[in-house]
Amino acid sequence: MTWKQKWINPVLEKEFRLRMRTIRSPLALLAYLVVIGLLALGYIYLEMHSRGSRGFSPESSRMLFYFLSGAQLVLVCFMAPGLTAGVISGEREKQTLNILLTTQQSSATIILSKLFSSLSFMFLIVFATLPVYSIVFLFGGISPTQLLAVFGFYILVMVALGSIGVLFSTVLKKTVVSLIVTYGVGLFLYVFTGLAAIFIMGVTNNQAREVSGFLIGINPLAAMISIFEPGFSDEFFRGGWKGMELWHIFVPIHIVISIVAVLLAIRFLRPKMKKQTV
């Protein structure tokens, strides 16, 4: 048995072939890189124009890294649900799900293969932006450890949102409904929690800092800022919680969300036969 037969099952191989066979995938990758590249070049132009002859300093390079990381995080949060919210419901609409379920592939294999194949294109897009980030290293201000932390952060966000999309794609019959619900849950997790944290801090006059900290810790942008600037978390955690970082909350919560969503998708993939009473 070759390594390909061990690691790439028929479901995964089919998804890989179908996704990369059309011209849309290379065009989508090109468009994404063009957008990221233009954002980076535009930021450099504006920064150098405002600084005049002083050029592009390591501090400006660090701010460029923050800007690129935030912009790419927004794009990841927007694209990941769309790639996974129709993987199972799409098979159901094409009336090929029953055929897929009659194969020797287990429910876990089908769900994980669909999730990984859908997110693999997103992984490719994100890692293809590494040459753009190399601009930052030309001017300094950022360590390779911070770059690895950011890309690990992207992967966690993609897996969490992708798992939610696969779950609703399995439970709900229509792709459109699954897509709407997935984006709705994403907005609740990443927008409503942040607004609720700001509201609680404003109403309670900063007396409920810890509650606000746990709520805003679910927000990926705030958690990413806490990776860059550890002192940012001190605004929310004091006393016995001092030293707690927002990403300490973000990481375990999203790991749990991913695991629970995948397990539920596996559980609901195959219809359960009702017991007949005599």
Residue 107's CB is within 10 A of a number of other CB atoms, namely 15
Cα separation, 34 vs 30, in Å, equals: 6
| pLDDT tens profile 133-161 | 887 777 777 778 888 888 888 999 999 99
- For residue 274, the model assigns a pLDDT of 46
Write out the two tokens for 94: 């094409």
- For residue 52, the model assigns a pLDDT of 60
- For residue 221, the model assigns a pLDDT of 85
Write out the two tokens for 58: 């390591």
pTM score:
0.84
Residue 272 region, left (φ>0) first, then alpha (ψ -120 to 50), else beta? beta
Cα separation, 260 vs 266, in Å, equals: 10
> Could you state, in order of their start, the residue ranges of all structural domains in the chain?
22-269
Q: Give the DSSP H/E element, type plus range, for residue 270.
A: none
* Alpha helices (runs of H) in 85-190, residue ranges in sequence order: 89-93, 97-101, 107-127, 130-139, 144-171, 175-187
Contact predicate 186/164, CB 8 Å? yes
Express as a percent the part of the chain with pLDDT over 90: 14
Where the chain has pLDDT below 70, the residues are 1-12, 15-16, 19-20, 51-56, 205-208, 238-243, 271-278
- For residue 273, the model assigns a pLDDT of 46
State the sign of the Cα–Cα–Cα–Cα dihedral 32, 33, 36, 38.
Answer: negative
